[in-house]
């Protein structure tokens, strides 16, 4: 069933209250930087509104949308997979408008952080009349279709508080869950996010009933401390350590290690992409089914840690 692109984007904008939101703090820095570094005219590729707020419709293709796809990141793998099956007018919705490579604990790989979409992929998207929509901070703070909200829902938890001021709300959710142990919660996280390696630091606990949840990058020790003061027994995020090569990344890594040595919480990392992809396959997919009667087709990363 084809739907009008403007109808889809209007409903998404309303869902995430984009008209009231200010420019995305993180993406308004990183998007211009990574494209300017490679000399690509990103403003000529994106919609005028996106170049101002860095959320919403990023690239306008044909007016009639056939299939809707979703992913956390527009990585090279995701875009190749999409371009292999997409037809003119199809829409890709991502949480981030650009890729991010924050390294991997699997082989202790350190990486470069945010990177631009390859020019040849952008040209293919434009030539084939495809559309792209991205929603970053407003999706992080949303209680209805949100990166943290989806994790709380998957844990069958109840939101009892918020922390980590971010955008126009809070990126961190505090949730009460049925009693569990550190070992069981780690095993549950591995299955829930489909990751073979879960990064675990901090204290092992025999009873956990309150979890602090942050999608994506969670390596801010000041916010970890806030979560602990609010009664969290465990802290579940995408990345406990952001392995970005350079002085900044090494300093942040050491800060988390020092915090982990003293905290009473169990600290759990499941990878940036996996933690924020969950909302695509659950809450956003349900929203599309209920709002448009459309099945959202998720595209997973080949490797969650990278």
One fold for both 3-136+275-297 and 140-274?
yes
> Number of C-alpha atoms within 13 angstroms, CB side, residue 166?
25
Pick the CATH number of 3-136+275-297 from 3.40.718.10, 3.30.1280.10, 3.40.1390.30, 3.40.50.300: 3.40.1390.30
Is 95 annotated for ligand binding?
A: yes
* Residues of the chain with confidence (pLDDT) below 70: 1
Per-residue pLDDT at 100: 97
Alpha-carbon distance of 196 to 200, in angstroms, equals: 13
C-alpha Rg value of the chain to the nearest Å? 19
CB of 160 closer than 8 Å to CB of 210:
yes
Q: Which two tokens stand for residue 134?
A: 């991205």
Pairing of β 56-59 and β 131-134: antiparallel
Phi/psi at 262 (5° precision): -120, -15
Per-residue pLDDT at 180: 98
Is 233 annotated for ligand binding?
A: no
Is 272 annotated for ligand binding?
A: yes
Structure-token match 């009473």, residue found: 264
Domain 140-274: CATH class, spelled out: alpha beta
- Under DSSP, the state recorded for 281 is I
The model's pTM is 0.96
Per-residue pLDDT at 159: 98
Alpha-carbon distance of 216 to 147, in angstroms, equals: 8
Alpha-carbon distance of 305 to 286, in angstroms, equals: 26
Annotated domain spans of the chain: 3-136+275-297, 140-274
Alpha-carbon distance of 94 to 132, in angstroms, equals: 8
Alpha helices in 194-271 (DSSP H): 221-229, 247-260
Structure-token match 């406990």, residue found: 240
Per-residue pLDDT at 1: 67
């Amino acid at each position: 069933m084809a739907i009008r692109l403007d109808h889809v984007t209007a409903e998404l904008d309303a869902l995430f209250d984009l008209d009231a939101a200010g420019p995305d703090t993180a993406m308004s820095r990183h998007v211009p930087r990574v494209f300017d570094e490679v000399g690509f005219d990103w403003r000529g590729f994106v919609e005028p509104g996106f170049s101002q707020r860095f959320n919403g419709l990023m690239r306008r293709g044909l007016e009639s949308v056939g299939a809707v796809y979703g992913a956390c990141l527009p990585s090279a793998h995701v875009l190749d997979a999409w371009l292999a099956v997409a037809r003119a007018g199809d829409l890709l919705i991502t949480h981030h408008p650009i890729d991010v490579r924050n390294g991997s604990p699997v082989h202790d790989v350190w990486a470069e952080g945010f990177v631009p979409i390859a020019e040849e992929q952008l040209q293919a998207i434009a030539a084939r009349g495809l559309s792209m929509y991205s929603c970053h901070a407003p999706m992080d703070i949303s209680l209805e279709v949100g990166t943290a909200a989806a994790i709380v829902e998957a844990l069958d938890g109840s939101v009892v508080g918020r922390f980590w001021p971010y955008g126009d709300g809070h990126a961190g959710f505090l949730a009460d869950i049925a009693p569990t142990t550190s070992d069981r919660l780690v095993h549950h996280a591995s299955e829930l996010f489909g990751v073979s390696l879960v990064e675990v630091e901090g204290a092992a606990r025999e009873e956990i009933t309150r979890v602090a949840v942050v999608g994506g990058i969670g390596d801010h020790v000041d916010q970890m401390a806030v979560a602990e003061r609010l009664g969290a027994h465990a802290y579940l995020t995408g990345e406990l350590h952001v392995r970005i090569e350079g002085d900044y990344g090494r300093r942040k890594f050491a800060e988390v290690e020092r915090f982990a040595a003293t905290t009473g919480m169990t600290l759990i990392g499941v990878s940036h992409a996996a933690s924020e992809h969950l909302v695509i396959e659950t809450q956003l997919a349900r929203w599309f089914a209920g709002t448009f009667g459309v099945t959202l087709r998720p595209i997973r990363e080949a490797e969650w840690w990278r």
